[in-house]
Structure 1
Amino acid sequence: MCDYTQREYSCGHFRWIASKWCREYTLTHKRCQPNVTHFEYRADEPCGECKPKEYPPWENLIRRNKQATY
């Protein structure tokens, strides 16, 4: 079984991060049953999906089309 770290964010979302792949995965690349070995709680951090998007100050100078035309 592969070892995973379970991470919980302040927004309530969970993520499972592989900390060690088992031999079977390294040979076949087929995921096996996860083995959670560590838990992390990040009370001061939302997950990547919930973080507010931060754009550079020059973002408004870029013209973006609503629909791409090729």
Structure 2
Amino acid sequence: MCDYTQREYSCGHLRWIASKWCRDYTISHKRCKPNVADFEYRAEEVCGECKPKEYPPWENLIRRSKQRTD
């Protein structure tokens, strides 16, 4: 089993970060049953989904098309 760290953010979302891959995963790259070995609570942080998007000051100068044309 691979070892994971369960991280809880102040927004209430949970994330599981691999802290150690097992031998089976390193060979086959197939995920096995996770083993939560550590817990973290980040009271001062929100997850990446909840963070406000920060754009550079020159973002409004870039013209982006609404649809991709490939």
Deviation at 1:65, TM superposition (A): 1.1
Deviation at 1:69, TM superposition (A): 3.1
- Alignment-derived partner of residue 3 in structure 1: 3
User: In percent, how many aligned pairs have the same letter?
Assistant: 83
Structure 2: how far apart are the matches of 1:27 and 1:68? 38
Structure 2: how far apart are the matches of 1:68 and 1:39? 42
- Alignment-derived partner of residue 18 in structure 1: 18
Structure 2: how far apart are the matches of 1:21 and 1:36? 12
RMSD of the alignment, in Å?
0.9
**TM-score, structure 2 as length reference:** 0.94
**TM-score, structure 1 as length reference:** 0.94
Structure 2: how far apart are the matches of 1:51 and 1:43? 14
Q: How many residues align?
A: 70
Structure 1: how far apart are the matches of 2:36 and 2:67? 43
Q: Deviations over 1:6-28 (max 9, x none)?
A: 00011111000000000011111
Deviation at 1:68, TM superposition (A): 2.3
Task: Return closer, same or farther for 1:52/1:27 CA change in 2, 3 Å cut-off.
Answer: same
Gaps of 5+ in 2: none
Gaps of 5+ in 1: none
